[in-house]
Amino acid sequence: MSLQSFEAVIFDMDGLLLDSERISFNTFRETLKQFNLKEDNELFYQMIGKDERSWRKLLKESLSDKIDTDKFARVWSDLYQREISKPIPVKDGAEALLTYLKELKMVTAVATSTKTKMAKEKLKNAGLLESFDLIIGGDQVKKGKPHPDIYLLVAERLSVNPQRCLALEDSENGVKSAVSAKMSVIQIPDMVQLSEELKKLGHTILGSLEDVVGYDFVSKKTIN
Over residues 142-183, the pLDDT tens digits come to 999 999 999 999 999 999 999 999 999 999 999 999 999 999
174: number of Cβ within 10 Å: 29
pLDDT confidence tier of residue 196, bands split at 50, 70 and 90: confident
Quote the pLDDT of residue 223.
Answer: 60
The residue from 12, 14, 149, 190 that is catalytic is 12
What was the pLDDT predicted at 193? 77
Instruction: Give the H or E element holding residue 118.
Output: helix 116-125
pLDDT at 86 over 90: no
CB 45 within 8 A of CB 191: yes
- Tell me the C-alpha distance between 221 and 224, whole Å: 10
pLDDT of res. 4: 87
pLDDT of residue 111: 98
Active site residue 12: yes
Q: Does residue 217 carry a pLDDT above 80? A: no
Which residue, among 116, 178, 115, has the nearest Cα to 145 in the 3D structure?
Answer: 178
Name which of 188, 181, 149 is nearest 163 in CA terms.
181
Which tens digits make up the pLDDT trace of 34-75? 999 998 888 998 888 788 888 999 999 999 899 999 999 999
Do residues 163 and 183 make contact, with C-beta atoms less than 8 angstroms apart? yes
What value does the mean pLDDT of the chain take?
Answer: 92
pLDDT at 219: 64
CB 81 within 8 A of CB 114: no
